Amino acid sequence: MSDVALTRSQVADLVDHTLLRPEATTDDVKALIDEARSLGVLAVCVSPSMLPIKAPGLVTAAVVGFPSGKHHSLVKGAEARLAVDQGAQEIDMVIDIGAAVAGDFNAVLADVLTVREAVGDRTVLKVILETAALTDEAIVESCRAAERAGANFVKTSTGFHPAGGATVEAVRLMAQTVGGRIGVKASGGIRTAQAALDMIAAGATRLGLSGTRAVLDGLPD
């Protein structure tokens, strides 16, 4: 358990308030944006089909190749480019998890590089590894590949994989690997204030939360 002491607003500044359920409607997205504003978070993260959205004062993020990662790299690139054209400032892409499992980290690098080239240098690119499905070695090598390909963040999880979501151990390993050169986003299964603080203590510089209010309500003002 972490003894990191952060206020509600300090944690809110790290949060991507997220809605990626397949059944989400435009009304749900509007409610997400309203809640994000009331909570004072940094960003909202939505499915690309929900774009464009009106969220002044908030960063808009969209997912790509989600949730399986089993899309052709060129499709991921086109999806990312379209999302950026429709107002996304940040892209959270899923790697080909099978390539990482098989140890083909050149394929992981090429996948990320295709999306980076599609969106240009100004777009923040977060690379989802699905760490619960990977060995420690595969996590390390995938982080290295993502960094070499120009990612701004490596991210633990989609939150949709049966193997599970973020763990403190995975976040710590990712943070040690990237050494502060790029960010680390913990996402998937973070439902309490203590869990969020533990992830931050392990090295997370961004949090992906769907139950954001419950997490922030557990923190001091």
Mind telling me the catalytic residues?
Answer: 92, 155, 185
What is the C-alpha end-to-end distance of the chain, expressed in Å?
21
Closest to 205 in 3D by CA, of 168, 188, 169, 180: 180
For the chain, state the CA radius of gyration.
16
Phi–psi pair at 20, nearest 5 degrees: -130, 15
Q: H or E stretch including 18?
A: strand 15-19
3-state helix, strand, coil in the chain (%, to 5): 45, 15, 40
CA distances from 142 to 26, 37, 98, 170, 193 (A): 34, 34, 12, 12, 28
